[in-house]
């Protein structure tokens, strides 16, 4: 089988091996493929039977121009880069990688939250700049320090990552409330399910772990923020468009929201005019919560397993058909 990886650098910048795919067929890896040039995408796919993509768009006209495609693997959990209807019409299975980043993303929630609460980076820089040496006191701090024990975390979206985040929160002594369209017995053992308005009213920290849908785009906005406590902390490691970024910026600058930690934004890479870049107490990182090497190795292993299962006639993690 001829296998094409269209944007290998997205998950493997060089610290992982492609040998799992090499064992399954003739492999060609492109580090990046431009989304704005369909001719290049079509040329690179050529007569390949299996294509693996992370962010490269596979549209209906690309599928039409590449009739050899028998399998599409998305090396991510989200699969909105694929025209599923067009793939289904041609009988092409599309697979994704669920659950590979649960540990890394839930850990990252607390990397953002602890930086907000303790300002470790800032205080380390201050020490190196001589502020402690010059201090007349035994110790100093110039940001409020926040203890998480006794605070309430509100988790919007209570799947694998949301539940793992809840367990970590409880080890910090936090209370946890959660909102999810459907409820599970496993979830109920970890947190109290509540409606969104109650979550907003009770939470000291609101963290997002839901998929992006037409119904929840911009769910964090002026109206929902008005229902939250003064001084709330908002964390988003899910999808950027869940947040109305101008409304969050306004709330941060007004002090209604104490701080925000976001690993995702509405357009990525972030645009220079994104309002969050000028917001007070806003910590922005470049969509890396999923990216520890352990997480990416799971991603690679499962992408190989998906293709191998397809070749064996028992496809898994199929999101269409």
Q: What does 239-253 look like in DSSP terms, one character per residue?
A: -GGGB-HHHHHHHHH
Q: CA 282, CA 250: separation in Å to the nearest integer?
A: 11
CA distance 213 to 55: 18
Q: Which of 44, 160, 202, 287 is catalytic?
A: 287
With b meaning 16 or more CB within 10 Å and e meaning fewer, what string describes 234-268? bbbbbbbbbbbbebbbbbbeeebbbbbbbbbbbee
Q: What is the rounded CA–CA span in Å between residue 44 and residue 243?
A: 36
Place of tokens 């701080």: 259
List the structure tokens of 249: 């910026």
The torsion defined by the Cα of 98, 100, 101 and 106, in degrees rounded to 10, comes to 90
Marked catalytic residue, from 209, 239, 296, 298: 239
DSSP letter assigned to residue 5: E
Host H or E run for residue 114: helix 102-118
Q: How big is the chain, counted in residues?
A: 321
Catalytic one of 26, 64, 268, 294: 268
Which DSSP category does 137 fall into?
A: S
Pull the structure tokens for residue 137.
Answer: 């006191």
User: Is the distance from CB of 12 to CB of 300 less than 8 angstroms?
Assistant: yes
Q: Is 239 a catalytic residue?
A: yes
Q: Give the residue numbers annotated as catalytic, written as ranges.
A: 239, 268, 287
């Amino acid at each position: 089988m001829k296998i094409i990886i269209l944007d290998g650098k997205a998950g493997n910048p060089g610290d992982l091996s492609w040998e799992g795919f090499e064992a399954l067929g003739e492999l060609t890896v492109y580090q990046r493929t431009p989304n704005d040039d369909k001719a290049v995408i079509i040329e690179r796919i050529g007569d390949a039977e299996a294509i693996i993509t992370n962010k490269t768009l596979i549209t209906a006209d690309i599928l039409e121009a590449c009739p050899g495609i028998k399998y599409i693997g998305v090396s991510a959990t989200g699969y909105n880069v694929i025209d599923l209807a067009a793939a289904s019409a041609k009988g092409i299975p599309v697979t994704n990688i669920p659950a590979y980043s649960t540990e890394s993303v839930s850990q990252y929630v607390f990397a953002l939250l602890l930086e907000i609460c303790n300002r470790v980076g800032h205080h380390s820089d201050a020490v190196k700049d001589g502020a402690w040496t010059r201090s007349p006191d035994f110790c100093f701090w110039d940001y409020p320090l926040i203890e998480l024990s006794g605070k309430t975390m509100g988790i919007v979206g209570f799947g694998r990552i949301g539940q793992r985040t809840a367990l970590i929160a409880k080890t910090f002594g936090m209370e946890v409330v959660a909102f999810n369209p459907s409820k599970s017995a496993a979830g109920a053992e970890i947190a109290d399910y509540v409606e969104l308005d109650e979550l907003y009213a009770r939470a000291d920290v609101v963290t997002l772990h839901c998929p992006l849908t037409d119904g929840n785009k911009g769910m964090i906005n002026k109206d929902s923020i008005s229902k939250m406590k003064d001084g709330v902390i908002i964390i988003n490691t899910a999808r950027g468009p869940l947040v109305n970024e101008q409304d969050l910026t306004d709330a941060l600058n007004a002090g209604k929201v104490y701080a925000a930690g976001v690993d995702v934004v509405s357009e990525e890479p972030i645009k220079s005019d994104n309002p969050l870049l000028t917001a007070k107490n806003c910590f922005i990182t470049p969509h890396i919560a999923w990216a520890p090497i352990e997480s990416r190795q799971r991603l690679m292993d499962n992408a190989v397993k998906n293709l191998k299962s397809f070749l064996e006639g028992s496809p898994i993690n199929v999101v269409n058909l």
